[in-house]
Structure 1
């Protein structure tokens, strides 16, 4: 199944167009490789998705063409959620 469709059906991302945009920005990896929206997702793959200052890592448990809201959560398992540290801008010292 295509990555963008899996993200929508599993409800990890609400809309397929948004899933495609996130992939185009290089914010999704499948098994530690940057993924395109058209990348194929298989059972057992690990997805890492960067949402703002958070990275969510999930394992694909099952593939379905459609799912009800109650069943969508069974399609993946959240392995971890990491918060990215905000990097403070360095101030340039103009005194020389």
Structure 2
């Protein structure tokens, strides 16, 4: 699944265009490497997103094409 699409479906970022812009500005890392919006992500990959002062670090636990709002939080696990 594309990185920008995953971030939208999992509701890490609410709009796909905003997710793409974050990738274009070099604020998103997959497994420690700068990622583009079209980067393919898999279960087990670690994402790091730099917005504001504190980066958000998550591990992908599920990939689904369609998910309900309540179930979106199950698609990733926060990493401290």
Q: What is the total number of aligned residue pairs between the two structures? A: 80
Q: Are 2:49 and 1:49 aligned?
A: yes
1:26 aligned residue: 26
Cα-to-partner distance string for 1:14-40 (whole Å, 9 max, x where unaligned): 000000000000000000010000000
RMSD: 0.5
Higher normalized helix content (fraction of residues): 2
Q: CA deviation at 1:52?
A: 1.3
Larger radius of gyration: 1
Where do 5+ consecutive residues of structure 2 fail to align? none
The runs of at least 4 consecutive aligned structure 1 residues that moved more than 3 Å come to: none
TM-score for the superposition, normalised by structure 2: 0.98
TM-score for the superposition, normalised by structure 1: 0.82
The secondary structure found in structure 2 opposite 1:21 is helix
Higher RCO, Cα 8 Å, sep 6+? 2
The secondary structure found in structure 1 opposite 2:59 is strand
Provide the rounded CA distance (Å) in 2 between the counterparts of 1:54 and 1:3: 20
Give runs of aligned pairs for residues 1-96 of structure 1, distance below 5 A. Answer: 1-80=1-80
